[in-house]
Amino acid sequence: MSIVKSFRKNMHKNNLKFLILIVFIFCIGCNNETESTKIERTVEKDTSTPKCDKILLQKCIEINPVWADYYKKNIADFSNDSGFVCSKGKIENIMTGSVYGDFSKEFNVNHLPFLINSPDHSKYIDLDSYQLCFKKDEKGNLYCGGGEVDQEIDLADRKNKTVKRIAFYGPGCFIEDAKWIDNNLFVLYGMSDKKLMIEVMDISKKKYQLFESKNELKTESFFMMEVRLKRVNFDTIP
């Protein structure tokens, strides 16, 4: 893709891991961007005063202890609900996704291990297919063959064979992981302007609740590459 070709030409090295890190560092550093360029959300915020569900926030942290432990040392009051601010609203403008579902013959099977399935496996969340292209080398090892700055989050329904775009993030925000609470309720874990964010989406009620840390993250390493996608080689392209 164009962004990879540009970096390979200008940096005189074939180092995709460096490229992806630069993309992420750029994303969390765009504090001066306008709201329209920072993020294109598929949600419409509720203007009423939100009442944060502190029990829900704690549950979100508890069901993803690996992600939480990764960042606890960098964020003050991480495990304390007073360390987060929240907003609530309705999920709007869900549209057809730009990627194929795993029920389609065009689906890139190398992404299969990284799909995040609902408890009954009737649905899954795809964080990577739009942004990253996973391939295998001659030895069967996974590597990343290209990348985009933007990230599309897709919800696939295996029963109805549909893929819906539920969020689209530009510079300033990105999602690293997701967990399901039940078959209709799931949690997105990521960053927004150097701050951690936890977004709970209820697809049956078309509502969301967003928690953002008050304190900024002080790290240049990311859970997404170091933990969730550790099986993927970002260092070189065969």
**86-99: per-residue pLDDT in tens?**
999 999 889 999 99
Tokens 């300033």 correspond to what residue? 172
Predicted confidence at residue 237, as pLDDT, reads 67
Predicted confidence at residue 30, as pLDDT, reads 38
Q: Are strands 162-169 and 185-192 parallel, antiparallel or unpaired?
A: unpaired
Tokens 């704690």 correspond to what residue? 58
pLDDT tens track for 51-83: 668 899 999 999 999 999 998 876 655 666 668
Q: Please write down the HEC assignment for all residues of the chain.
A: CHHHHHHHHHHCCCCHHHHHHHHHHHHHCCCCCCHHHHCECCEEECCCCCCCCHHHHHHHHHCCHHHHHHHHCCCCCCCCHHHEEEEEEEECCCEECCCCCCCCCCCCHHHHHHCEECCCCCEEEECCCCCEEEEECCCCCEEEEEECCCEEEEEEECCCCEEEEEEEECCCEEEEEEEECCCCEEEEEEEECCEEEEEEEECCCCEEEEEEECCCCCCCCCHHHHHHCCCCECCCCC
User: Which residues in the chain show pLDDT less than 50?
Assistant: 1-16, 18-19, 22-23, 25-44, 46-47, 49
If we measure between CA atoms, which residue out of 109, 114, 195 comes closest to residue 153? 114
Predicted confidence at residue 36, as pLDDT, reads 38
Predicted confidence at residue 230, as pLDDT, reads 94
Predicted confidence at residue 146, as pLDDT, reads 84
Predicted confidence at residue 56, as pLDDT, reads 92
- Rounded to two decimals, the pTM is 0.79
Position 120, amino acid: D
The two three-digit tokens of residue 20, written as one number:
């992806």
What count of other Cβ atoms lies within 10 Å of the Cβ of residue 17?
Answer: 14
The Cα 100–Cα 176 span in angstroms is: 20
Predicted confidence at residue 215, as pLDDT, reads 81
The Cα 210–Cα 39 span in angstroms is: 14
